[in-house]
Chain A
Amino acid sequence: AQSVTQLGSHVSVSEGALVLLRCNYSSSVPPYLFWYVQYPNQGLQLLLKYTSAATLVKGINGFEAEFKKSETSFHLTKPSAHMSDAAEYFCAVTAKNEKLTFGTGTRLTIIP
Chain B
Amino acid sequence: NAGVTQTPKFRVLKTGQSMTLLCAQDMNHEYMYWYRQDPGMGLRLIHYSVGEGTTAKGEVPDGYNVSRLKKQNFLLGLESAAPSQTSVYFCASSPHIRLYNEQFFGPGTRLTVL
Contact = CB atoms under 8 A, between A and B. Distances in A.
B74 interface: no
Contacts of A42: 107-108
Interface in B43-73: 43-45, 48, 58-59
Contacts of B103: 44, 46, 100
Contact of A43 (B44, B90, B100, B102): B90
Contacts, number: 49
Interface in A95-111: 95-97, 99-100, 102-105
A12 interface: no
Given A9-B40, A105-B42, A43 B4 contact: yes
Interface size range of chain B in the complex: 20 to 34
Interface residues of A, number: 23
Chain A at the B interface: SS class: loop
Interface of B: 4, 40-45, 48, 58-59, 90, 92, 99-100, 102-103, 105-108
Given A43-B90, A44-B105, A90-B42, 4 more contacts: A42-B107, A42-B108, A43-B107, A44-B43
